[in-house]
Amino acid sequence: MFFTPTELVGAFIIDLQRFEDNRGFFARTWSPDEFESRGLVTHIAQMNLSYNRTKGTLRGMHFQHAPYAETKQVRCVRGAILDVIIDLRPDSPSFKRWIGVELTAENRRALYVPEGFAHGFQTLADDVEVMYQVSHAYTPSAEGGVRHDDPAFNIEWPLPPTEMSPKDTSWPLFER
């Protein structure tokens, strides 16, 4: 795997190291040793799959409060998404900054999301599937979020949202 640091401290784009032959290719998508050697969290408590019917669907911006804060490795396994993360760590040099990374079934990229970040995505096609590895099990009492259209962040979504959950449209504006 190839780990490329992003402009947000602690977040990485992960590309596959492909071993190709006439059959196709083989690549590792997870290696605790490779993550640990970079100081990244290696504990996986849960794996999740999100299926999204409609292009423009927006999920986010989600996080979990401590002590259930989670790291995520996110990969699009069918279709394409713009995966967006926001650094919400007040002591971070990249506090309140966001990035968007296109994850597709074709580019096979993943995004490593550290604790203290809000995460969400918008689908760029119909029938999209997204896989997540997370370090803590979902804990409803620790759930948090910020609005996808919060002026504190000015996220540039590629499409007008077509589908969103009522919960995601009611997250509060960020105050700090």
Catalytically annotated residues:
62, 132
d(CA 87, CA 56): 23
d(CA 86, CA 98): 4
- 115 phi/psi in degrees, rounded to 5: -60, 150
Neighbours of 115 (CB within 10 A): 18
Cite the beta strand spans of the chain per DSSP E.
2-5, 12-15, 19-21, 24-26, 46-52, 58-64, 72-78, 80-87, 98-104, 110-113, 117-123, 128-134, 143-145
Listed in sequence order, the residues at least 6 apart from 41 whose beta carbon sits closer than 8 Å to its beta carbon are 35, 71, 114, 115, 135
User: Count of H helices and E strands in the chain?
Assistant: 2, 13
